[in-house]
Every structure is written in C-alpha cells, then in structure tokens.
Amino acid sequence: MQIAENTAVSFHYTLTNDAGEVIDTSSGREPLAYLHGSGTIVPGLENAMAGRKPGERFEVKVEPSEGYGERHEGMIQAVPRSAFQGVDSIEVGMQFQARGPQGVMSVTVTEVSDDQVTVDGNHPLAGQNLNFAIEVVEVREASEEEIAHGHIHGPGGHQH
C-alpha cells in the first residue's frame, strides 16, 4: 500500500541541519506514526512521503517555507523580568508558554539581564533547512475513528 490521504503511516527518521548535526532521530525508539493528510508533520516532509511504500528509504531537504517557516525578528521581544513571577532562576534556553495575539505560544529565553528577559517566539528550527533521512515502516488504511480524531491510535500513535 502507498502513502495517500487518510493512511496511517509509521516511519523512522533522522533529522539533521545543513552542517550534518543530528537534531532529532527515532533511532532506538518506536517509529513515528501519523495520519497522512492531517497536517501533523511539516508540509515539506508530508509532501515527500506521498506515494511511498513500506521499506522505502529516502532523503529529503525541506526548505524553511515548507518546514517551520522563516525567522521573524518581530517574534523576539524584551519583557520585564517581573513578568516571570514565581520563577526564581531564569536562564538562556529555558522555554515558557506566553499569551500572544494568536493565543498561547512557546517562547525561548535568549538573553537575561537584571531587569529584562529577551524571549524568542520563533520555532527553534525556523529559518533552517530540515534534512530528513526516512525509512517507511508501515502504511495501512486509517480507521474511521482515527480519521475523525485527526490522528492515529495504538503503537506510535495517540493513546486514549
């Protein structure tokens, strides 16, 4: 069976940056499972998965526009340290949830001073090419329940 809309897909992956450094991998873990067409993986990878079959191995470079988007300097802002009430120690690299114009978003601390904390609302991989090495493990028809829920159930998928 080929990967197509509303198929349940399991795959192993290694994600590297352009310098060849491993950012993430499923090596040593269960394969990643997703419902094809649900938008739960970056668009460039989902497009490259279409038509593939179990056992296929391939590599794909996903440009920022089809990955986590371009970096936007407007997503970086300095906020008063007092906005972090109840947090005793704030360090570069820490992540917090913040409420923005589009709702709740994750921000990463990029700079800390005595009275201000600079946070970046860009995804950590925004503006970067995503280099995937993929091995398709399994492709099957998704159940009606999985399609209705927008994700697959069972091993590697969502547990209810």
In the three-class reduction of DSSP (H, G, I as helix; E, B as strand; rest coil), residue 144 is classed as: helix
Within a domain: 88: yes
Six token digits for residue 127: 């503006």
- Distance (Å, rounded) from C-alpha 104 to C-alpha 93? 19
Predicted pLDDT at 153: 82
pLDDT in tens, 25-69: 999 999 999 999 999 999 999 999 999 999 999 999 999 999 999
Q: How far is CA 46 from CA 16, 72, 96, 115, 146, in A?
A: 17, 24, 28, 43, 18
CATH number at residue 11: 3.10.50.40
Residues spanned by the domain of 106: 73-120
111-150 pLDDT, tens digit per residue, is 999 999 999 999 999 999 999 999 999 999 999 999 999 8
In a domain, residue 160? The reply is no
Phi and psi, residue 65, nearest 5°: -65, -20
pLDDT in tens, 10-23: 999 999 999 999 99
